[in-house]
Amino acid sequence: MNSNGVVEWAVVKSDIGPLMLAATDVGLVSVVFHARPEVREKAVGQLRSRLGAEPVESPGSARLTEPIRQLAAYFAGPLREFSLDLDWSLTSGFNRQVLRELAAGVPYGAVVGYGDLAERVGQPGAAQAVGAAMGSNPLPVVVPCHRVVESDGGLGGFGGGLETKRKLLALEGVLPQALF
């Protein structure tokens, strides 16, 4: 067992499909897109091996109440900034540094280039490493990797799929809403 003790998780519906949220006693530790049964199983296995704790499905968990409430408010429109306790233990080093800068420095409705973000953490030229950090983001949506785009205006990659990235950027008013 690590210091986190129990990891509690639940699946919630969202505008971008089911999301699996997991929290430790430190805070929200993981957000997983497209949380179908096989995806959940894999995610639970990863949490077990990475955190050394047995994840417990706990839809009524007090730890998850606030993340669930804030995500619902984000998708509904009124919430523009998450104020959640986050457990950063699934990321470290450069990736953690980049993700923390992203969470703190790129607000709702704004986007940043991979290279710009690399510069902000003092690593100009590390755009590809920033891309890798975004790909490994354990807390998507809350830590807004969807706001990182290519400098030429391309969307760049996205762990949740480009359609999901488009929906999130449209929700934030960065992209026009799809017509159909």
Catalytic machinery residues: 145
Return the ∠ at Cα 84 (arms to 2 and 156), rounded to 5°.
Answer: 95
Query: How far apart are the C-alpha atoms of 127 and 149, rounded to whole Å?
Result: 11
State both tokens at 170. Answer: 């449209």
Q: Over the range 4-27, which residues count as b (16 or more CB within 10 Å of their CB) and which as e?
A: bebbbbbbbebebebbbbbbbeeb
